[in-house]
């Protein structure tokens, strides 16, 4: 994970950012004293009750510092702030949104996504972790064991609002039971088909430009030399229909902030491709049909490679 800015709470306190918030709220008549504490009128902005900013002992609450941090974000030019919180902080949303509104920002400037718990499984059993007992599996250890590709793919396999059971043994499997292996194998299989076509096809000189043009997405000349109407088999049409849905899948992910949809899409596309592969030969004695099917699988390779690249997962050419 790479951060543009690694922000420390000490920086806020050094610049007395929380005092700026307190002064702003005071100027807007949004604070009052009660029982020796300073309260924020958060109930005026949709919260169920008012919240303490300074305790009766004169100490800033975490809430006050959090408001200052969010204000700092907006002061740095961010139009929308997305917070990723654990399920135990769900009740914190209303008070923070109230603070954002009190700062004069629109409701849509603040969005919270609740991330659920991840359970690590080994041999079907949940690995019990305890900070107190020192029983912790660090991310670096997990990546060392299962690899970067599997770790990234598995963590993206569930919607963020749903708990994730991360099966370590499954993530290490070199078989079609492993979702990331299944998708990567589809890409590698296509690469092998394209390689075979250039090495073994009876009319290599005619087929090679087809492979190259699809790979480079330069299809203007390709349409004049390939009869795509020959792709009429149910498995061929199903593969085409699934690839057509890829841009819509990315749009839906961007709008919903649900990257798990990409893992689902690629797994389904891999299933459709493998079904096509088991039912039809790509390189045949029929040169025109071979060219059309090479175009089809080369296009599928582009989709697999693009989807894996978006997730930061490698697209191997052989496995």
Measured between alpha carbons, how far is 175 from 192 in angstroms, rounded to an integer? 18
Stretch 127-137: mean pLDDT: 76
pLDDT of residue 118: 86
- Of the listed ranges 126-135, 199-208, 256-265, the one predicted with least confidence: 199-208
309-312: long-range contacts (C-beta < 8 A, 24 or more apart)?
Answer: 310/250, 310/262, 311/152, 311/153, 311/156, 311/259, 311/262, 311/263, 312/148, 312/152
185-212 pLDDT tens trace: 999 999 999 888 877 655 545 666 666 5
- 217 or 103: which leads in pLDDT: 103
| CB 292 within 8 Å of CB 226 | yes
Confidence of residue 10 (pLDDT cuts 50, 70, 90): confident
Q: Which residues contact 75 (CB under 8 A, 6 or more apart)?
A: none
Fold assignment, 179-311: Isoleucyl-tRNA Synthetase; Domain 1 (1.10.730)
Please determine, for residue 168, whether its predicted confidence score (pLDDT) is greater than 90: yes
**CATH match of 9-114 with 3.40.50.620:** yes
SS3 238: helix
For residue range 262-309, list pLDDT tens digits in order: 999 999 999 999 999 999 999 888 888 988 998 899 899 999 999 999
Q: Is the pLDDT of residue 4 over 90?
A: no
pLDDT in tens, 16-57: 899 999 999 999 999 999 999 999 999 999 999 999 999 999
According to DSSP, the residues that pair with 37 across neighbouring strands are 34
- The domain ranges of the chain are 9-114, 118-172, 179-311
Residue 203 confidence (pLDDT)? 56
More confident residue, 1 or 188: 188
Q: What SS3 state is found at 161? A: coil
Task: Enumerate residues 6+ apart whose C-beta is below 8 A from 169.
Answer: 121, 122, 123
Q: Identify the band that residue 3 occupies on the pLDDT scale cut at 50, 70 and 90.
A: confident
In the chain, the percentage of residues whose pLDDT exceeds 90 is 66
* Mean residue pLDDT across the chain: 90
Asked, colleague to colleague, whether 9-114 and 179-311 share their fold, the answer is no
């Amino acid at each position: 994970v790479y951060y543009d800015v690694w922000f420390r709470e000490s920086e806020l306190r050094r610049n007395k950012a929380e005092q700026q918030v307190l002064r702003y709220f005071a100027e807007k008549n949004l604070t009052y004293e009660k029982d020796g504490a300073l309260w924020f009128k958060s109930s005026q902005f949709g919260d169920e009750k008012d919240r303490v900013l300074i305790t009766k002992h004169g100490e800033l609450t975490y809430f006050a510092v959090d408001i200052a941090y969010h204000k700092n974000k907006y002061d740095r030019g961010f139009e929308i702030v997305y917070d990723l919180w654990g399920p135990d902080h769900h009740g914190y949303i209303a008070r923070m949104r109230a603070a954002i509104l009190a700062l004069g920002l629109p409701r849509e400037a603040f969005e919270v996504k609740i991330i659920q718990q991840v359970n690590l499984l080994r041999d079907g059993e949940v690995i019990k972790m305890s900070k107190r007992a020192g029983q912790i599996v660090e991310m670096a250890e997990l990546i060392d064991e299962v690899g970067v590709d599997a770790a990234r793919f598995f963590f993206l396999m569930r919607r963020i609002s749903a708990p994730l059971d991360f099966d370590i043994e499954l993530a290490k499997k070199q078989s079609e039971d492993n979702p990331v292996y299944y998708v990567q194998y589809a890409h590698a299989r296509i690469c092998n088909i394209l390689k075979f076509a250039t090495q073994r096809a009876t009319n290599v000189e005619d087929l090679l430009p087809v492979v190259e043009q699809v790979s480079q997405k330069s299809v203007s000349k390709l349409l004049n030399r390939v009869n795509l109407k020959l792709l009429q088999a149910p498995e061929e049409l199903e593969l085409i229909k699934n690839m057509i849905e890829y841009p819509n899948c990315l749009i839906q992910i961007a709008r919903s902030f649900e990257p798990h949809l990409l893992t689902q899409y690629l797994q389904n596309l891999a299933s459709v491709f493998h079904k096509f592969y088991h039912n039809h030969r790509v390189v045949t004695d029929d040169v025109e049909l071979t060219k059309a099917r090479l175009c089809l699988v080369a296009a599928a390779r582009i989709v697999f490679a693009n989807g894996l690249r978006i997730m930061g997962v490698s697209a191997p050419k052989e496995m």
